Structures are given as C-alpha cells and as structure tokens.
Amino acid sequence: MTAITHASTVKENHVRHLSHWMNGKLVEGTSGRTADVFNPSTGEVQAKVDLASTDEVNAAVAIAKEAQKVWGAMNPQRRGRILLRFVDLVNENMDELATLLSSEHGKTFPDAKGDIQRGIEVVEFAGGGAAHLLKGEFSTEVGGGIDTHSLRQPLGVVAGITPFNFPAMIPLWKSGPALAAGNAFILKPSERDPGVPLRLAELYTQAGLPDGVFQVINGDKESVDALVNHPDVKAIGFVGSTPIAQSIYTGAAAAGKRAQCFGGAKNHMVVMPDADLDVVTDALLGAAYGSAGERCMAISVAVPVGKETGDALVAKLAEKAALLKVGPSLEAGSDFGPVVTPMAKERIEGLIQQGVDAGATLVLDGRGVQVPGHENGFYVGATLFDHVTTDMPIYSEEVFGPVLAVVRADDFEAALNVVNSNQYGNGVAIFTRDGAAGREFATRVEVGMVGMNIPIPVPIAYYTFGGWKASGFGDLNQHGPDAFRFYTRTKTVTTRWPEGVSEGASFVMPQGS
C-alpha cells in the first residue's frame, strides 16, 4: 500500500509508526507516548501513533501563526485553485485512501470511498465558492459624502478535533472552508485511525498549500486541552460524544474563542401505516447497519405507527437482517465490517445485554459472531430489539453499533412525541406517502436535519449540517455558507474623504440622515 511509504515508516515487526505532520513534513513525536492503531478485521495492532505533548502543540501553533500571514493575504481565487488541485489529487488517489481508511476503521471499501467523496465535495464547494462567499457589502451615501463597506477576514489559526468514525469526511468538512477563508488549520484527528489524515496532509502540500498552513497533530486529551487553551487558536471545531462536545464548548467559550461542537445522536425513523414496508425495510437495513452503525446519522430507532405496521415491519426486518453478512472490511461481499476497537465491541455487547435485562424483546442477537479466518476481529452482527421503551438504556444511550431498537407508537402524535422528547436532535426520518403528514412532521419535529422518505438526511455540501439540543453546541453549523461565517470575522469600514475644509468638532452621535 503506497500510503505506508508516504505517511508512515515501517518497523521490523511490520507495525507502522505514525508521527505528526508539521511545517510540510513528517515530524517524529517527542513525548515518548504512543497509542495502538488496530486492524479491526483481524484484531492485530498494525501501527503505533505518537501522542503529542503540550509543547509539540505549541510548536505547531507557532508555525501555523507565521504561515497564516502569507496564506491569509493571498487572493481567495488563488487559494481556491489550490484546494481544487487538492480535490483532483484525492480523486487520483481514491483507491489507496479508501484501502487505508478501511483497514484502520473497519468500514467496507465502498463505504470508505463514500466517506472520502462526501468530504471532498465540501472542499470543492469551499474552493470554488471562496471568492463569492467572502465578498463583503458596500453602501454609498450613508451620510453626506460617507460610504460604508464590510470585509470578511480570516480568524488566524483554527483547529479541528475530529472523530474516528469519519476519518476523511469530517477533517475535510472542517479544513476545506477554514483554508478557503484564509486561516491556518491544525487537525487533531482520532488516534484510532490517523493514517488517512496524515495522507491528506501530504496531498494538501502536493497541491501547493504552503508549509505550515495545514498540520496534523496526533494526540489525546493533552493535545485537545492544549488547543482549547492556546491564546493563538481562535476557533475550535469538534465532533464526538456529547459530554466532550459540551466540555470543549464550555472551555473554548471561557477562553474567548469560537466553538462549533457536535455531539451524540439518537436518530429515529417514523414509519407511517401508508408507507411501503419493503422500501422502508431496505432503507432501515442500510441506515441502521451500514458502517456497523458507527455513524452519527445512523438510524438507531424505528418508530412504526400502529400495531399492524409494527408487526409487519419487525417481521420483514428480522428476515432480511438475518441475511446480512458481517465480514472483513476489504472483502467483497461484506455488507458491513467490524467495529473499530475491542473496547467498542465490549461496550456494544454490554448495552445489548442491558436491553435484554430491561425486558426488550431480542429478535436478532449479533453477539458472538465468528468470521472464519478472522476470529480475533471486532465483529458484532446485526442486532434487532422490539418492544423497546424510552426508559431503557438501549434506547436512551447512543449505542454506536449495529443495533436497531423498535419503539412502537399508537399514532402520529405519539410518534412525534417520542422523537421530540429525546435529548438528542441530530437527524430524523419519516416514511409516508401522505404529503400533509410529511409536511406537519417536518414543521413540528425538533431535530436539525429531517429526511422525508430519505433514511440518512445528510445535507449536500452547499447546505449546512448540524443538530439541535444535545447534538450540537454553537450558533453556526458545518459546511455551507455557515462555515464561512464561522471561520471569518466581519470588519465594517465607514469612509469619508475630506474636501480640505474643517467643519469643526461635533458632539452629536452620527446619524444616517
């Protein structure tokens, strides 16, 4: 795999060593601390990644601060051209990147390509739209001989702290608009699958991005705290669990910087009695079990309306989900692969047991899956619960695994109440043929992203992505025009060119008359 010779070195025991990307090159870590990077399909440790110290983070910020001065002064169109060259390079290296991503995360090869594709769509939007989206406003004669105009200027150094489940997409969602707006960007990716972020850093450099403008610092809580507390880091973008999102948001606010923090999710699909259950079943299979359920937009709760709908839906789901193939991520024919770490597997299986103990009906049990030849992999099969109630842990907690819970509702109002009463508000879907019901649902549901007959309503790059309630902290969302608002600050300039005659001192508040 060419990524091994690019963004890492190989030790004699074939375990790769992953470092940091600073000032346009790989830099060996100096903290003496490392973390294991597994191959989830086999259970083997395939790499050791350096974990940065506070001093290493501080060094990266100092480099970024100097590099940003030149990058931020560059014409937005020129910055955009570099980003578009980067998009071309990612496309040229798509198979290599997807293979690396799949081997570290565990999602299938086609799903890994989708991860990358949805990421570069945002970079493409940011690169192509930078000049337009950074335009200010201009007004003449706001007063006698006075004009006013506004400027959108970069913040300086910004940082992204991104999760394991989308090791390409989320770093690209964060970095593309930030770079297009003229900022320097420091990425702290998940230490569970850092190979792709390091390779993306190389491709940014190859595309012509000046050294130091995009850097990758691998690390853990020490690195996160260092970025949040550093006075020269002006904004923090985060995606992960709700407790950490809330903590980072609070810490960033206390440090006087912008924060855009996205947390957990419990996404529902409401199934109305008039819905085509074959279509619904297929949609649920992909949305609940794709990527082993390790998506913040995965559907983890089905809410059928009415007993007949519930009975029929559960029967169809049980039949089809039992046929899904869980297997090695790079093996053709695998519907979904393993979960990312042995700790993740243990947690998911523990929550399944809690569901059983709480009295939910375990229709399909995914525990104890054995994949021939890969017995040590971190596999959990498709799991289906029926008769789940909202006070059970299997419902209230974000499982982040291939587990679908069915919470039955008597009518539309009851189904809507299930969704609106949940602490999370990331994504939701309704399947119905009734336009009035769909419109009513979209208007009244308290969730940030809504799909009507769409199971995973992730907005396209030129709209914004963001959840409500405990799923999101901050005023602005990811990608779309919101990203440029987040990564810039507005300066308003009021101008009058004197005609050479003093009018004397004025002690009256200026007015626009």
Q: How many CB atoms lie within 10 A of CB 509?
A: 5
Q: CA-CA-CA-CA torsion for 272, 275, 281, 282, nearest 10 degrees?
A: -130
Kind and range of the H or E run holding 99? helix 94-105
Cα dihedral 200, 402, 298, 163, rounded to 10, equals: -30
104 closest CA partner among 379, 340, 374? 340
* Token pair in block for residue 489: 């600050």
| Helices 109-133/169-180 angle, 10° precision | 10
Helices (H), 235-333: 242-254, 277-289, 307-321
Confirm whether 261 is a catalytic residue. Answer: no
Catalytic residue, candidates 67, 112, 228, 296: 296
- DSSP calls for 6-22: HH-EE-TTS-EEE-EEE
Burial class (CB in 10 A: 0-12, 13-18, 19+), 75: exposed
Q: Residue 121: CB partners within 8 Å, gap ≥ 6?
A: 460, 461
Question: Residue 373, by phi and psi: left (phi above 0), alpha (psi -120 to 50) or beta?
Answer: left
Sign of CA dihedral 460, 462, 466, 468: negative
- Which 3 state secondary structure label does DSSP give 164? coil
How many other C-beta atoms can be found within 10 angstroms of the C-beta atom of residue 284? 26
Strand order in the sheet with 44-50: 9-10, 16-18, 44-50, 34-39
Dihedral angle of Cα 380, 285, 432, 451, to the nearest 10 degrees:
70
Which residues have a catalytic role annotated? 296
